[in-house]
Homo-oligomer: A and B are copies of this chain.
Amino acid sequence: MKEINIGILGLGTVGIGIVQLLKKRQAKIKNIYGVHFNLKTIAVRDVNKKRNVELPANTKLCDDDSKVIDDPDIQIVIEVTGNVDGAYHAIQRAMQSGKSVITANKEMLASHINDLNTIAKNNQVNFFYEASVAGGIPILRVLSESILTDSFEQVNGIINGTSNYILSEMLTNQADYHQVLEAAQQLGYAEANPRNDVKGYDAAYKLSILSYLIFGQFLPVSKIRLQGIDQISIEDLKAAQNDGYKIKLIANLKRKHKQLTASVVPTAIKKDEQLANVDGVQNAIQVTSDALGRTTYTGAGAGSLPTANSVLSDLIASANTETNGYSMALQNDNNNDYQIIKNGGKSQYLIIIHLRDNQINSVAKLESIQKIKFDNISTMMTNEISYPELQLLLKKIKNHVHPGTIVHAFPIFKS
């Protein structure tokens, strides 16, 4: 029986899920795998906070990180604090102490994944982060296991459950954005400050991680074209639906030779496409690759148990591989030798123009406006145009109609 001592930093939703799932599976892991994970110490900010979890009898709860990081007995540290800078330094120290690290911290990884990978390599420890992207889908493990056999061209993902839930509910209930956001906050599907979710940052952090894992290329969020869902109205969704499209917040990473483009933008997807039918808080990741063509993975994006499952998978992988620096991204070259072109590439766009009654004629004069729709909404489909060309077109439309006209442009999904 192999005994492995683990320590956890943080005991929020995910931390609690880990404790519960570990308890559930300990017997099976012992019997089949011959390993016992001893949950030695959990460090939190506030030991007196009321938590809905029963800790194992011999697990120590404390408010001092170093009781986890500096304990020579502890071999694996799980970081699920949710904060950024504190977590980065804690993980650094843990690795430098020869401890393997498992984290779910996407925002921290979006900034530090490159240097943490280097530190892990130098200290010959394992470094896993399955729970940081699409909590319930084993996507990072699957992709890392494909790195040697396949060659990736494109990744498209619905990887923020909150924004996907909002867009789905707006359409289902024919309700406006603010109404649905409020309801989502009450249900706990959106935070009090929903910025990270609705402005696309959360999806961008995850896209960063995917870029590093798949291409070995560090992708700063600043190089990702970012557009959130907070300007979308129910009229936009209805107009798109009328043209046969669903609007989804799509995270896209595209490779062309040694160039990468990355974006998180609301996108128009034909309704019979698989991604168009991923609704509510579900996540989905569609990968286009040389050997397999198109593969789609759909499942839970978050939640205590699904995320805990990802952490537990990492725990088992960490116990399996010899401490030799194996980690998901260590398989790849990490050469950072791609050129990242922000706002690169071309796309077709579905343009939705919100008109006032007296503006309909002026729009009709604008060439290539294809149809006037119900409720003073006009839509048009562009050819494949570049991002600068799109900006010019939007300016042209506003000049023709009215400078304050609401015009939304949704790239058309192309797999």
- Interface residues, chain A, CB within 8 Å of chain B? 21, 25, 28-29, 31-33, 136-138, 141-142, 145-150, 272-274, 277-278, 290-300, 305-306, 308-309, 312-313, 316-317, 331-333
Contacts and interface: CB of A to CB of B under 8 A. Distances in A.
Contacts of A146: 138, 309, 313
B145 A138 contact: yes
B148 A142 contact: no
B297 A295 contact: yes
20 contacts: A32-B147, A32-B333, A136-B291, A136-B295, A137-B292, A138-B145, A145-B313, A148-B312, A148-B316, A149-B309, A272-B277, A273-B277, A277-B277, A291-B309, A292-B299, A292-B305, A293-B300, A295-B300, A297-B297, A298-B298
A332 B274 CA distance: 33
A305 to B, nearest CB: 5
Given A149-B21, A274-B274, A277-B277, A306 B293 contact: yes
Contact of A296 (B291, B294, B297): B297
A246 to B, nearest CB: 11
A67 to B, nearest CB: 27
Nearest to A32: B331
Nearest to A312: B149
A112 to B, nearest CB: 23
Nearest to A291: B309
Nearest to A295: B299
B277 A291 contact: no
Contacts of A277: 272-274, 277
B136 A293 contact: yes
Given A149-B313, A313-B146, A274 B298 contact: yes
A285 to B, nearest CB: 11
Q: Which 5 A-B pairs have the closest CB atoms?
A: A295-B299, A291-B309, A296-B298, A149-B312, A136-B292
Which of A145, A149, A305, A333 has the most chain B CB atoms closer than 10 A to its own CB? A149
Given A25-B148, A33-B148, A141-B145, A308 B293 contact: no
Stoichiometry, copies per complex: 2
A293 B299 contact: yes
Given A136-B292, A291-B305, A294-B300, 19 more contacts: A21-B291, A28-B148, A32-B147, A32-B332, A137-B292, A138-B146, A141-B142, A146-B313, A149-B309, A149-B313, A273-B277, A274-B277, A274-B278, A291-B308, A292-B299, A292-B305, A292-B309, A293-B299, A296-B299
A54 to B, nearest CB: 18
A272 to B, nearest CB: 6
A159 B298 CA distance: 17
A146 B138 CA distance: 9
A9 B317 CA distance: 32
Contacts of A297: 295-298
A73 to B, nearest CB: 23
A29 B148 contact: yes
A273 B277 CA distance: 8
A273 B295 CA distance: 17
Contacts of A331: 32-33
B149 A25 contact: yes
A292 B282 CA distance: 11
A146 B31 CA distance: 15
A16 to B, nearest CB: 14
A189 to B, nearest CB: 15
A28 B333 CA distance: 9
B148 A32 contact: yes
Contacts of A137: 292, 295
Contacts of A298: 274, 295-298
A306 B333 contact: no
B299 A150 contact: no
Contacts of A273: 277
